[in-house]
Chain A
Amino acid sequence: MSQVIRAEGLRKRFGETRALDGVDLAVEEGTVLGVLGPNGAGKTTAVRVLATLAKPDEGRAEICGYDVMRDATRVRALIGLTGQYASLDEELTGRENLVMIGRLLDLPRAEARARAAGLLERFRLSDAAGRAVKTYSGGMRRRLDIAASMINRPRVVFLDEPTTGLDPRARGEVWDTVREMALDGATVLLTTQYLEEADALADRIAVFDHGRVIEDGTPAELKARAGRQTLVVRAAEVFRTEQLAAIVAELTGERPEVRLDAGLVTAPVTDPGVLRAVVQRLDEAGLVAAEVALRLPSLDEVFLSLTGHAADAAGSAAEEQLEGSVR
């Protein structure tokens, strides 16, 4: 296996803010790297440097062996980029957007049309292909944006917070898309603020904080280091909450947190197998649960356990603003 994304010691400042403060990354071909971190951790800046849109102050980066600064044109031919904000021409139709990008990639007209049609089909946008993008829903825009970054059949795909602002259904569709890309053999780097998302999609996760990679590993390793999951059970009949709490206490060996008014019982768990046991016991007791779930630790909890401080978004507003106006 070879490393198709490589970055060493990337540093970049925006005024006083150190957006990147010595970032090293290495992504194996055909894998998905989840870059996890709060707003302002440097995720977007890292993507922009790797995708040739921003120059680092220090350090170097390579895509498939090509330097992102010296060989920017070749790198651009190898990558697909979907930014945080859909970068499409709102006034053109979905099809026109894709054909235009195909033509800019030097595809003959017929080939550009064929690829556009294929991608529209694959992203379930065929029905809307002839409509102006400004009439699209948020999820449709994002799918078209991702389709646009796939026209050159990229070896490396960058997705910057591809599901931020999407409803759960649209998010699920984007997830499916990312999985398909990985199956096609593309190497994917996606940034996210949700551990759940990184867990669902990524082979490895790099946790960003204040412009540095503070943790790097498989989702399983990270979850093990980041602390325990939470069992959540909600009684359908609120008056039986205490009975429910007793069952949870017995099975987890922990004192559960109980909210009588909502019928909600939560307890930390180490063994995910407890979920099955809970379902079985509830069944035996004739208790109906409105919700039974194992929750991953939130980004805040991950940060708290990895860094000892909460995922603070202070300074993020400044960085976002800078990234919006300056490169």
Chain B
Amino acid sequence: MTTMTTMTGTTAHDALPPARISLRRTVRHSLTLAWRNIAQLRHSPEKLIDVTLMPLVFLVLFLYVFGGAVAGSTHAYLQQLLPGLVAQMAMFATMGLGTALSEDIRKGVFDRFRSLPIARSAPLIGTVVGDTVRFLTVVVVLSVAGTALGFRFGSDPLRVLAGFALAYVFYLAFSWISVMVGLIAPSPETVQGLAFMFVMPLTFGSSVFVANTSTMPGWLETWTKMNPVSHLTDALRALLVGGPVGNHVWITLAWAVGIVTVTFPIAMRMYARRA
């Protein structure tokens, strides 16, 4: 290693990082990369148009088309529908993630990241965390528009906050499905179609639109009862409006952990292979 010492002496160079990257640095790098997503949105806020308009369209359409038939009145239905839409729209909001990742890989941006001394996972974690803005947009749009149409939150603001926090945790976990799809799909154009295959049955085959699932055929009811989106929806109804929470919160959290445990390693593997 004598050569090394002479070489270090000849050029000014910052201290070499250790061979392994600490968790603290990975967290910091991930936050820097999350900032990248937010900076992108600052330059082109029109990217938030889907998470702004889609909740509005769904809210108005479903409320007035189904309200009277499902719950007797639109007002009564709104109290059921809005928590469900928070769950569904949060799932929808993750779908842009896969497309963005696929674009990044195609354009070579990830090659740059991979040539830097940062953890492999940092760009993926950063992208997921940076997308928090999309989740927040969904929550704000639905809360404001829902209130304007007559939705009344429950009286305990802490419970309401806990509800949104639960939705956020599940949103983060579900994001990894979108990341995985983005890495599996051969091109950015195919990501959307693949992501829909996960999102549609999960959000429509659930208690999002109807709190009472007993009129469904047996197989669908079974699926709906297992579906984590149903548990999230039921938990949100209890936390945002009122009523007993049951064990829906715990089941939702368990699903969140389960989803990340399965999808994160697959996503990392695909990423190492693709990028």
Contact = CB atoms under 8 A, between A and B. Distances in A.
A74 B18 CA distance: 7
Contacts of A3: 3
Contact of A83 (B10, B25, B111, B116): B111
A29 B118 contact: no
B17 A77 contact: yes
B275 A76 contact: no
Interface stretch (B32-40, B67-75, B192-200): B32-40
Given A73-B20, A89-B36, A327 B117 contact: no
B32 A103 contact: yes
B33 to A, nearest CB: 7
Interface residues of B, number: 44
A52 B120 CA distance: 12
Contacts of A96: 36, 39
A29 B7 contact: yes
What secondary structure prevails in chain B residues at the interface with A? helix
Interface residues of A, number: 45
What secondary structure prevails in chain A residues at the interface with B? loop
B14 A153 contact: yes
A2 interface: yes
A134 B273 CA distance: 28
Nearest to A65: B4
Contacts of A83: 108, 111-112
B81 to A, nearest CB: 35
B16 A87 contact: no
A239 interface: no
B115 A106 contact: no
Contacts of A148: 112
Contacts of B152: none
B189 to A, nearest CB: 15
A77 B115 contact: no
B13 A153 contact: yes
A104 B116 contact: yes
A14 interface: no
The 10 closest A-B CB pairs, nearest first, are A87-B108, A87-B112, A76-B117, A77-B117, A81-B115, A2-B3, A103-B32, A91-B40, A85-B108, A73-B117
Given A96-B39, A104-B33, 8 more contacts: A2-B6, A3-B3, A74-B16, A81-B112, A91-B40, A325-B274, A326-B274, A327-B274
Interface of A: 2-4, 29-30, 51-53, 64-65, 71, 73-74, 76-79, 81, 83, 85-93, 96, 100-101, 103-106, 132, 148, 152-153, 155, 185-186, 325-327
6 contacts: A51-B115, A65-B3, A76-B116, A100-B32, A104-B118, A153-B13
